[in-house]
Structures are given as structure tokens and as C-alpha cells.
Amino acid sequence: MKQWMIAAAIVAVLALATAPKTSAKTAASAPETSINRGVVELETSRAAGISVRIAEDLANIIDDGATRRVLPVVGQGPLQNLTDLVLLRGIDMSIVQVDVLDYARQQNISPSIEHWVTYVTRLYNEEFHLLARQDVKDVADLANQKVNIDLRGAGTAITATRIFNLLKIPVTTTNDAQEVALEKLRSGEIAAVAYVAGKPAPIFRQLNGNDRFHFLSIRISPTVTTTYIPTRLSAADYPGLVPPDHVVDTVAVGAVLAAANFKMGSERYRNLANFVESFFTGFQALLDPGHHPKWSEVNIAAELPGWRRFPPAEQWLQRNAQTAGAPSPQDLKAIFSRFIDERQKASGGLLLTQQQKDELFLQFQLWQGGQHNTAPISSPLTTR
């Protein structure tokens, strides 16, 4: 009898001790579930680039405090970002350069990466800046000289290496952070600094003629423009480095919003689909003043050949095909005119007159009006 009473007392004590813990756990799980609802983590490049600001803009229009939240994560560079997207727990999306995607596939950085990575949309273009000492007059003068191409694995390192190879200019590369490289440029230790960033890049906005630096033009040729987009730097971008009556020819590389290829129906898949719906539906708000001007370059319907779009993004675009990314007639005409000028310059041909461009644009409109999209793009299959 005595043993029975002792056993009963022990059971009662254990029951009392256990009950509060269970209640506390249940109470704690409610806010934990709430705060994690609808969260997607977006990895950007380092803080010196514009992708951090782009991620901030996305968070500001998408976060609703209850069902959607974008959590920006500052990464170490687009190549590492791709690895993180495939392997790092928690990363849902990443902003990377298009040529870095191609490089990762060519170098087999992650086996069958095209099966693990999809894309939501193409984003803005990032310009290739080549800042040199005043005594370096031409990009060819950099042959066998030291040029900083940012840290190893950075997007700039990949793009700069490819561009110098396309130009057939052998350079000795260094891999310092941009701020360190600028000091070495001032001291004469290196001849130039290469940097891929959306213009105007903050690191160059603070420079002026007293620094005795200038941007070098990149020779635009069909070899270069098969991979990169012709563009220019002007005084409007860098008033301290480019004279008012002068432009600097260079190239740009596209950025893309890449996404992990989650298993359809999983919680992270649903969170990402929710993000896409909100992002695409509210895209026009990103064109308002107060957001980064690079949003004006974004066409959410633009495709990325060789890569698969995240299925809910593809489905949204098919449902909204009449309005998604459609520029106004005036904007389309300006884009077409700039395209003609850049292609003529790239091929070495004479620039067309405005009348000739207007006539070509009219022919383009007539041709476009006769096109019919009879085969809708099928949604890609997910692999995980």
C-alpha cells in the first residue's frame, strides 16, 4: 500500500511538471508560425551594388505584415549566390548576372544546374565600367598591365575576364575589393579598375577630375555584342568623370531574378508563388518615383533562352499576356531607334537618318501586327 501511494505521488508530480511545458510550447508555436508565414529569402550581391536596393524595393511593395514577406540577404557575389540557391538552407531566390548563369553551367559549378534553378524574370542591365589612369588612353593600352577585376568569384571577375578575352587583350588581373583597388589606382600600383554595376554606381559618383581618372571606351564589335549589350556612360551618369559633350561606349550584362526549383505544392513553392503573384501584379508601382530608376528597364515578360521560368510566373504571364511588360508606342519607338543605332555601330555601318528609322519602325509595326502566337509556352516540370 505504501509503495502504491509513493508511485501515485510520483505520477502526479510528473504530470504537474509536464503540463506547463506543453502549454508553453503550444503558446510559443503560434507566434513562430505567424512570423514565418509567407517568407521568401532573396540573396543579393554585396552592398556596393544596386541589387540590395532592388531587393529593398521588392520588400517594400510586397510585405503586408501577415501573409507575405521578402527577407533580403546580402551575399558574397553571384557565383556564390547560385551555389547558395542550390545548397544553402533557406535561400529561395537570388539576383545574378546572366553571363554568370551561363558560366556556372559551362563550368559545371553545380551538376545539372538548369534542373535546380529556374527564373522569375529578367531584371535590369548592369554596365561594364573600366576606370583607368589618365595616361592610359585606350583599352588596348592595358595589354600586360594590372587590372583589378574585383574579388574572386564576383560577377565582375567573370564578366571582365570574358570581355578581355573577346577583345584579345591579355591583362594581369588582381582581385581586391573595389575600395582597395581605387586606392591602388591612385598610387599607380594598377592601371585600371573593372566593375560591373548598374549606372550610376555609387562608388564612382564621388570621383571627379581631380582624381585623374577616366572611363575607357570598349570597342563594340559583333564578337562582343553576341554576348553583351552595347550601351554608353554619359555626363548625366557621372558628371565628375565624363565631360558634358562626351559619351563612353561600353557594354552591359543583364541581371536575372533566379529561383530555386522547389517541389510543386511544398510550402516554399507556395510562398514563392505568392511572391510572384504580388510582384507581377504590383509591378507598375515600382516605376513610381522613389524606387530605383533601373526598374524602368525591366520587362517582366522578357525571356531567358536556355533556362526555365518558375511555373507560377509563366502561368501569370500567360493569363496576363495582353498587358504584361507592354511598352507604350512612344517607348517602343525609342527602344527601336536605340536598337538600330547600336546594331549599326556594332556592325560598322553608317547610322540611319531619323526618317529612315521611322520608315523601318513602321515596317516593324506592320510585321508585328501580322504575327500570331499559336503555340503557348508549356510550363516546366519541377524536379524537387
Residue 275: CATH number of its domain: 3.40.190.10
Containing H/E element for 66?
none
Query: Looking at the structure, do residues 223 and 317 belong to the same domain, yes or no?
Result: no
Say yes or no: 48 and 168 in one domain.
no
Residue 200 sits in the same domain as residue 180: yes
| pTM recorded for the entire structure | 0.74
Report CA 153 to chain centroid distance, whole Å.
Answer: 16
Say yes or no: 283 and 233 in one domain: no
The owner of cell 560591373 is 196
Residues of the chain with pLDDT under 50: 1-2, 4-22, 24, 26-28, 368-384
Cell digits of residue 298? 525591366
Say if residue 119 is in the same domain as residue 131: no
Q: Where does a domain end: 222, 254, 286?
A: 254
Tell which of 254, 279, 298 closes a domain: 254
Q: Are residues 284 and 139 in the same domain?
A: no
Per-residue model confidence (pLDDT) at position 22: 47
Domain-located, residue 373: no
Q: Is residue 5 part of a domain?
A: no
> Using an 8 Å Cβ cutoff, are 199 and 127 in contact?
yes
Q: Is 192 contained in some domain?
A: yes
Domain count, the chain: 3
Residue 259 and residue 114 share a domain: yes
Q: Could you tell me if 115 and 164 lie in one domain?
A: no
Pairing status of strand 39-44 against strand 192-197:
unpaired
Quote the pLDDT of residue 346. Answer: 53
| pLDDT for position 220 | 85
Q: What are the cell numbers at 175? A: 582581385
* pLDDT tens digits for range 138-195: 999 999 999 999 988 888 999 999 999 999 999 999 999 989 999 999 999 999 999 9
Beta bridge pairs of residue 250: 231
One domain for residues 151 and 84: no
Are 117 and 228 found together in one domain? no
86 and 173 assigned to the same domain: no
Nearest to 233 by CA among 214, 249, 254: 249
Say if strands 247-260 and 93-97 run parallel, antiparallel, or are unpaired.
Answer: antiparallel
13 located within any domain: no
Q: How far apart are CA 164 and CA 2, in angstroms?
A: 90
First to last CA, the chain: 61
Q: Which of 210, 228, 254 is the C-terminal boundary of a domain?
A: 254
Phi, psi values for residue 197, rounded to 5° = -160, 150
Is 8 part of a structural domain of the chain?
no
Residue 170 lies in a domain: yes
348: containing domain: 327-368
The pLDDT, as a whole number, for residue 354 is 79
135 found inside a domain: yes
Q: Are residues 313 and 339 in the same domain?
A: no
Q: Can you give the pLDDT at residue 9? A: 47
Q: Does some domain include residue 17?
A: no
